[in-house]
Amino acid sequence: MAQKVPPPGVGAEEYARRRRRAMEAIGDGVMILAAGTAPTYSNDTHYRFRPESNFFFLTGYPEEQAVAVLRPGADAPYTLFVRPRNEEAEIWTGRRFGPEGARREFGADAAFEIGELADKLPDLLDGATTLYYQPWAQRSLDRIVRGTLEALRGKERFGKIAADTLVRPGALLDEMRLIKSAADMEVLARACEISATGHLAGLAACRPGCMEFEIQAAIEHAFVRAGASGAGYPSIVGAGDSGCILHYIENNRQVAEGDLVLVDAGAEIGGFTGDITRTYPASGSFTAPQRRLYEIVLETLEQGIAMARPGQTIDGIHEASLKRLSEGLLELGLLDGSLDEVMEKESYKRYYMHRTSHWLGMDVHDVGRYRKDGACRPLREGMVFTIEPGLYVQPGDERAPEEFRGLAVRLEDDVLITADGCRNLTRRVPVEPDAVAALVGRTDS
Ligand SMILES: [Mn+2]
């Protein structure tokens, strides 16, 4: 049988570099990370497996039921426990790397079958006073870890040492994941590129009378065709007032003439995901109220991108977005009173109820603290986040002028903070209303 190859990603050298950094932070502690197992969605049919992000960040190992142990200074500082090779099982469920592949392709200093974990773990944990481990995720692993710690503690008079402190691995890894390396950026930019390709396909597939899921299918087809593992999160394709539902994923209604179609979709590759939202005019042109709403959201997006640079904050961009959206809502007669009153009473929340940004990386809502020392932390080079203002006028909102009811617009780009500003990773999908409208239903490109 042909040899199994690692999935696309940052490459073995970068995984090794990440492990070296993690080892430095672990010091005389020990870290245990688990890939997890694929849950089933029907009887014995499994969801597509995707390893837990911290495990994947340090190993790149794509198979389920694997466990990594990092113990700086040990004879084998990086040990992988993986599913064994098994000729019969592999005929049914696919090729496996096995311990030999774990050493050969993934740089493990030592690798064993997962069944040996309970036997090997005492030596790997002995002497480490801090254990970096996330309990409660996998009960079978919790039992082994707890049993190991208890056994070590029981032998302390024989010189064994069990950890006193249990720390969440994210306490070390979140910051490493938040500030992207050059290799991270290359893969994340690729995820954003493929996400853009998907949206261009989605725009081409959009026409009055089509079903929302046809647009979803065109987008996800483009993702997979470009080598992505799929969508990084469930694609949102909401026509008409479905766009007012922030996480609408049923995608089962028909697109009507004159609808706006709100599409939020991103591709995942190498463990990183893009996150793009565009709002397509189904008939290839915006009505006047649609365009007015759209332009306010677009100005807010562009303002946020112009602000994104080192030293600025996520809160700063959010506050400025709230202001710009509120001004627009007042101009359109969707709100009344003064800007100060609107800001004070937060009455914009009727039309804009979410935050403007989130970190982006291996998780679509990526890890990393937003606040530090009681304040929103300043942006710095290597951070990647979304800017995604929107306006949603619920169809039953009788306080809103009728022409706006049921309209929803959200626009979202992904930006990387550079030394002196930011790089927009997703602008290959146009955002100017006429440029977007021109791509709707165009099958020649
Ligand atoms: Mn987002």
From the list 78, 248, 348, 392, the catalytic residue is: 392
Asked if residue 246 and residue 131 are part of one domain, the reply reads: no
What's the pLDDT score for residue 382? 98
Picking from 206, 34, 53, the residue whose alpha carbon sits closest to that of residue 121 is: 34
* 2 or 123, higher pLDDT: 123
Q: Are 325 and 297 in contact (CB under 8 A)?
A: yes
Distance 355 CA to ligand 1 centre (A): 10
Picking from 227, 222, 249, 224, the residue whose alpha carbon sits closest to that of residue 238 is: 249
What's the pLDDT score for residue 3? 80
Asked if residue 394 and residue 346 are part of one domain, the reply reads: yes
Asked if residue 228 and residue 152 are part of one domain, the reply reads: no
From the list 247, 257, 398, 420, the catalytic residue is: 247
Distance 360 CA to ligand 1 centre (A): 8
- Tell me the residue range of the domain where 382 lies: 179-439
Of 126, 157, 174, which closes a domain? Answer: 174
Distance 42 CA to ligand 1 centre (A): 29
Asked if residue 306 and residue 189 are part of one domain, the reply reads: yes
From the list 18, 199, 207, 358, the catalytic residue is: 358
Asked if residue 300 and residue 412 are part of one domain, the reply reads: yes
From the list 365, 369, 371, 399, the catalytic residue is: 365
Q: Which residues contact 101 (CB under 8 A, 6 or more apart)?
A: 3, 4, 82
Give the count of beta carbons closer than 10 Å to the beta carbon of residue 203. Answer: 26
| Backbone dihedral region for residue 251 (phi beyond 0: left; psi -120 to 50: alpha; all else: beta) | left
From the list 212, 259, 412, 413, the catalytic residue is: 412
Of 115, 139, 174, which closes a domain? Answer: 174
Residue 363 among the catalytic residues: no
CATH of residue 434's domain is: 3.90.230.10
Chain segment 24-62, per-residue pLDDT in tens: 999 999 999 999 999 999 998 989 999 999 999 999 999
Chain segment 140-193, per-residue pLDDT in tens: 999 999 999 999 999 999 999 999 999 999 999 999 999 999 999 999 999 999
Q: Give the C-alpha separation, 239 to 168, whole Å.
A: 41
Backbone angles phi, psi at 125, to 5 degrees: -95, -25
Asked if residue 113 and residue 26 are part of one domain, the reply reads: yes
Distance 358 CA to ligand 1 centre (A): 7
Residue 354 among the catalytic residues: yes
Distance 388 CA to ligand 1 centre (A): 7
What's the pLDDT score for residue 219? 98
pLDDT at 442 over 90: no
pLDDT at 137 over 70: yes
Is residue 5 domain-resident?
no
Distance 429 CA to ligand 1 centre (A): 15
| Backbone dihedral region for residue 36 (phi beyond 0: left; psi -120 to 50: alpha; all else: beta) | left
Is residue 370 domain-resident?
yes
**SS3 category, 132:** strand
**What's the whole-number mean pLDDT along residues 200-208?**
98
Residues with CB under 5 A from ligand 1 (ion): 275, 386
What's the pLDDT score for residue 2? 75
Asked if residue 216 and residue 159 are part of one domain, the reply reads: no
Element (H, E) at 414: strand 413-417
pLDDT grade for 295, boundaries at 50, 70 and 90:
very high
From the list 44, 340, 398, 420, the catalytic residue is: 44
Distance 179 CA to ligand 1 centre (A): 18
Domain count, the chain: 2
Residue 247 among the catalytic residues: yes
pLDDT at 127 over 80: yes
**SS3 category, 183:** helix
**What's the whole-number mean pLDDT along residues 111-130?**
98
Residue 46 among the catalytic residues: no
Q: Give the C-alpha separation, 123 to 137, whole Å.
A: 23
Mean pLDDT, the chain, rounded, equals 97
Q: Are 195 and 267 in contact (CB under 8 A)?
A: yes
Q: Tokens 């929803």, residue? A: 408
Buried b (16+ CB within 10 A) or exposed e, 129-154: ebbbbbeeebeebeebbeebbebbee
Tokens matching residue 414: 């992904």
Distance 386 CA to ligand 1 centre (A): 6
Distance 30 CA to ligand 1 centre (A): 34
Distance 371 CA to ligand 1 centre (A): 19
Give the count of beta carbons closer than 10 Å to the beta carbon of residue 117. Answer: 20
Is residue 89 domain-resident?
yes
pLDDT at 116 over 90: yes
Share of residues in the chain with pLDDT > 90 (%): 95
Distance 234 CA to ligand 1 centre (A): 12
Asked if residue 302 and residue 256 are part of one domain, the reply reads: yes
pLDDT at 444 over 90: no
Residue 264 among the catalytic residues: yes
Asked if residue 352 and residue 250 are part of one domain, the reply reads: yes
pLDDT at 289 over 80: yes
Is residue 100 domain-resident?
yes
CATH of residue 67's domain is: 3.40.350.10
What's the pLDDT score for residue 157? 96
What's the pLDDT score for residue 13? 96
Asked if residue 92 and residue 143 are part of one domain, the reply reads: yes
What's the pLDDT score for residue 98? 97
Q: Give the C-alpha separation, 61 to 57, whole Å.
A: 9
Q: Give the C-alpha separation, 323 to 305, whole Å.
A: 15
Of 174, 204, 238, which closes a domain? Answer: 174
What's the pLDDT score for residue 160? 97
pLDDT at 330 over 60: yes
Q: Angle at CA 35, nearest 5°, toward 31 and 41?
A: 150
Distance 242 CA to ligand 1 centre (A): 17
Q: Give the C-alpha separation, 126 to 336, whole Å.
A: 66
Is residue 6 domain-resident?
no
Would you give the end-to-end CA distance of the chain in angstroms? 40
Q: Are 408 and 244 in contact (CB under 8 A)?
A: yes
Residue 214 among the catalytic residues: no
**What's the whole-number mean pLDDT along residues 233-244?**
97
Chain segment 340-389, per-residue pLDDT in tens: 999 999 999 999 999 999 999 999 999 999 999 999 999 999 999 999 99
From the list 264, 363, 366, 413, the catalytic residue is: 264
Distance 414 CA to ligand 1 centre (A): 8
What's the pLDDT score for residue 1? 62
Residue 259 among the catalytic residues: no
pLDDT at 445 over 60: no
